[in-house]
Amino acid sequence: MKRLFWNTLTMLCATLSMHAMAVLEEPSGNVILAVSGNIEHFNSPQQAQFDFAMLKQLPAYEITTQTPWEEGVHHYVGFDPSDLLEQLEADGNVIRLTAFNQYITEVPLTDFEELGAIIAYQMDGADIPVRNKGPLMVIYDFDQYPELRNETYYGRSIWQIQSMHVLTLGE
Residues of this chain that bind ligand MTE (CB under 6 A): 69, 99, 101, 103, 154-155, 157-160
> Minimum distance from CB of 47 to Mo ion (Å)?
28
101's contact among ligand MTE, Mo ion, none, with CB below 5 to 8 A by partner kind, is: ligand MTE
Q: Identify which of residues 79 and 140 has a Cβ nearer to ligand MTE in the complex.
A: 140
d(CA 34, CA 31): 7
**20 vs 69 by CB, closer to ligand MTE:** 69
* CA dist., res. 39 & res. 44, Å (int): 12
Strand 33-37 relative to strand 161-167: parallel, antiparallel, unpaired?
Answer: parallel
| Residue with Cβ nearer Mo ion (17 or 150) | 150
Indicate the SS3 state at residue 62. strand
How far apart (Å, rounded) are the C-alpha atoms in residues 5 and 23?
27
What is d(CA 153, CA 157) in angstroms, rounded to the nearest whole number?
6
* Residues 6 or more apart in contact with residue 63 via CB below 8 angstroms: 75, 76, 78, 116, 117, 118, 120, 139, 140, 141
CB closer to ligand MTE out of 23 and 31: 31
CB of 155 to Mo ion, least distance (A): 5
Using CB distances below 5 to 8 A depending on partner kind, what does residue 157 bind out of Mo ion, ligand MTE, none? ligand MTE
**Min dist. Cβ of residue 132 to ligand MTE (A):** 12
Rule CB under 5 A: which residues touch Mo ion?
155
Q: Write down the least CB distance from residue 106 to ligand MTE, Å.
A: 12
